[in-house]
Amino acid sequence: MKIILNLFVFLTILNVTAQSNFDSPSFEVSIGDLETNEYPKDSTANALVIYEYGNSLIHKETFDLNTEIKRKIKIFSKDKADGNATIEILLYKSDKKYRKEKIKNITATTYNLENNFIVSTKLNKSEIFEEEYDKNHTVIKFTMPKVKDGSVITYSYTLESPFLYKYKGWTFQEDIPVLYSEYNTSIPAYYEYSIKLVGALKLSENKSELKRNCLIVGNGGSADCTITKYVMKDIPAFIEEDFMTTKDNYLSRIEYELKILTRTDGSKDNITKTWKTVDKELKDNINIGKQLNKTSLVKDLLDSSVINETSPLKKAQAIYGFVQNTYTWNNEHKLFKEVSVKNLIKNKSGKASEINILLHNLLKANGIKVKPVLLSTRKNGFATKLFPVIYDFNYLIIETNIGGKLYYLDATNEYLSFGEIPFKCLNRYGRLLDFKNGSQWVDIKANKTSTSLHKIKLRFDKDQEVTGQIKSRYTGYNALSKKRAYYLKPDNYIDAMESSSVNINIIEHNIESKGKRDFKFQENYTIELTDNDLVGDLIYFDPFIFKFFKENPFKLQERTYPIDFGYKKSYLYDFELDLNNQYVVKNIPKTSNVKLPNNAGDFGFSTKVLGNQLTLLLKININKPIYSAEEYESLKEFMNRIVDIQTKTLIVLKKK
């Protein structure tokens, strides 16, 4: 025990020493920075930010926002870290040519250790390039010279910006680990910002003090400044993985939004608006409120059979189906630009907002309670809740109330059933617009569990071939891809199914679904299996013709952001094999049952042999749409067990 304890202490000291060889609180390159060629906390890292520093303040003469930036990076593998040796700095420019961000004082140096001496190579000014990125951005680009495995690179510059309404934010986390990141700000009392810390990581330091008369303005005026220092240490790399929304939701950073501007004469300009003010603006907006009131355009669009339907739910479903079948989405969102219901009706094709506003107007004109909902899609990121930022939203869906039950609708996808919205819209919440009573936040979620079920009955025939029937049933979001594949190209559907499994021939195939908008997709077919793994008089039989998870989607050592499936899921695999008195079972896998804490999920796996019948059952429940980062390890192990069952289960049969 004493030997083990001493070994543990030795390894701990070795780990700390290896990390401490980096001179993390300094921009200067040390011998330790060059000699240390691994980062024990992340052995997979190809590069490491040893030190980065930022300092933003208002220039006393130009009154521009100047930000000084310094970075020191260790390159472990040049081939795999090329992106870290090529620096790109994006600069914003407004439509007015003279208002743009500028960069100055670029210095960059590569350091290498040669024969125990530190050799430095400076970047030539001629190797710095400026390119047009888009209408509102240019990019400054340069590649560090003589970078190789073990190099340390440093670069610094000053960013000048006239756009004080958007104070310079600071991103602490990136796709490589960061040892030390420090950001300093000096904000005059003239500017009051809403400050938001994004991400799960906590600040190591957060210091603030008041500096008197830090900024002198004309006519003898002056302003006090709030001086702030933010520090994060030992920041893990942010690595994207399956089942997440955009990384911008989770990257640890500080953001600023100008709230109040106080002028030198003492007058105040409230930049950040209230939702009451925004609601009024949206009501009068030509692309939102004005379009939502154009009910006169929809008077002659519906058949009398729809208009005369007495059931509110059936009428709403018929209107929804009409819009889905008649109007095609042109793959554009454009929520606040060039929205026209009139053009949609004329062209039969239009933006997502136009299609859903038309749906809103048709429902409203036919006595259905309906309201629009603004939301931000999963790739667009979470909309800010702290204060109204209207351009955080990029999508519009419809909420309808029928008999006290709420349904969220989107008519852009012909395969969605009534009450379903696209997966991209499952981004937690949206803003329900009510121009009479005021807007409010509402939860956006899938109320029903999406399921996949396979019921398989196979039999050895007299020629020892395996044939049988399969019944498969998919519901909700699990059914969408199946419906799209079948109804889009039904002639290719069977070929695609057979090619996805090398040992299946489909003899007969039937669909029992009611159509594209059916919540479920159900198919029945007869199959024969080929190429059974025969060794002597033994057959090694894989019972999982279909695998719900072929590999574990969770592979990270550590995940600092939630696991977002979007909706609850359930899977059932019911397998039965008739041995037809020709084979005996030599080996079957053991029963296994696993439950996640707090009923967050479970799976059960069982096998049984009774006479000539072999049965196998696998049931998986993922009971939450979203899991916290703290649940990652248990969910990762949960998936490991499921994947092992589906990919490593073999039933050994012996011929009688």
Amino acid at 114: E
For the record, the structure tokens of 321 come out as 């189906």
Beta strand residue intervals within 288-385, DSSP E: 328-329, 349-350, 369-375
Q: Is the pLDDT of residue 5 over 50?
A: no
pLDDT category at 461 given cuts 50, 70, 90 is confident
E strands, 271-424, where?
Answer: 328-329, 349-350, 369-375, 395-402, 405-409
Q: Is 194 exposed, middle or buried (0-12, 13-18, 19+ CB in 10 A)?
A: middle
Determine what percent of the chain is predicted with pLDDT higher than 90: 75
pLDDT, residue 145, reads: 96
pLDDT classification of 249: cutoffs 50, 70, 90: very high
Largest CA distance in the chain: 105
SS3 1: coil
Task: Give the mean pLDDT of 264-289.
Answer: 91
pLDDT at position 532, please?
A: 67
Quote the tokens at residue 103: 């960069």
pLDDT for 101 equals 94
Under a CB-based contact definition with an 8 Å cutoff, are residues 446 and 476 in contact? Answer: yes
pLDDT, residue 420, reads: 97
CA-to-CA separations, 75 to 44, 50, 179, 553, in angstroms, rounded? 12, 10, 14, 28
Mean pLDDT value of segment 78-86 = 87
Whole-model pTM: value is 0.88
632-637 mean pLDDT: 96
Q: What is the rounded average pLDDT for all residues in the chain?
A: 91
Instruction: Please report, to the nearest 10 degrees, the dihedral formed by the alpha carbons of residues 428, 434, 439, 442 taken in order.
Output: -20
Instruction: Confirm if 571 and 549 have CB atoms less than 8 A apart.
Output: no
Could you tell me which of 559, 549, 505 has the C-alpha nearest to residue 528? Answer: 505
Asked if 532 and 630 count as a contact pair (C-beta separation under 8 A), the reply is no
Residue 151 has pLDDT above 90, yes or no: yes
Query: Does the pLDDT of residue 7 top 50, yes or no?
Result: no
Distance CA 577, CA 617 (A): 12
Backbone dihedral angles phi then psi of residue 334, each to the nearest 5 degrees: 40, 75
Query: How distant, in Å, are the alpha carbons of 318, 447, 512, 523 from that of 483?
Result: 20, 20, 12, 11
Asked if pLDDT for residue 95 goes beyond 90, the answer is no
Per-residue pLDDT for 487 more than 90? yes
Provide the pLDDT for residue 502: 64
Q: Are 51 and 30 in contact (CB under 8 A)?
A: no
Residue 533 pLDDT grade (very low, low, confident, very high; cuts 50, 70, 90): low
pLDDT of amino acid 20:
54
Q: What is the dihedral of CA 581, 584, 589, 595, to 10 degrees?
A: 30
21 has a pLDDT exceeding 90: no
Question: Where are the chain's structural domains?
Answer: 2-269, 275-444, 450-655
CATH class of 275-444: alpha beta
Closest CA to 355 of 387, 326, 381, 375: 326
Write the pLDDT tens digit of every residue in 108-135.
Answer: 999 999 988 999 999 999 999 999 988 8
- CATH number for 450-655 (one of 2.60.120.10, 2.60.120.1130, 1.10.760.10, 3.30.56.10): it is 2.60.120.1130
pLDDT tens digits, residue range 381-424?
A: 999 998 898 989 999 999 999 999 999 999 999 999 999 999 99
pLDDT at 595 over 80: yes
Sequence-distant (6+) residues with CB within 8 A of 580 are: 459, 460, 461, 462, 612
Whether residue 563 has pLDDT greater than 90 = yes
C-alpha–C-alpha distance, residues 249 and 238, integer Å: 12
Q: Is pLDDT of 10 > 60? A: no
pLDDT of residue 97: 65
Q: CATH classification of 2-269, choosing from 2.60.20.30, 2.130.10.10, 3.30.470.20, 2.60.40.3140?
A: 2.60.40.3140
Q: What are phi and psi of 468, to 5 degrees?
A: 165, -170
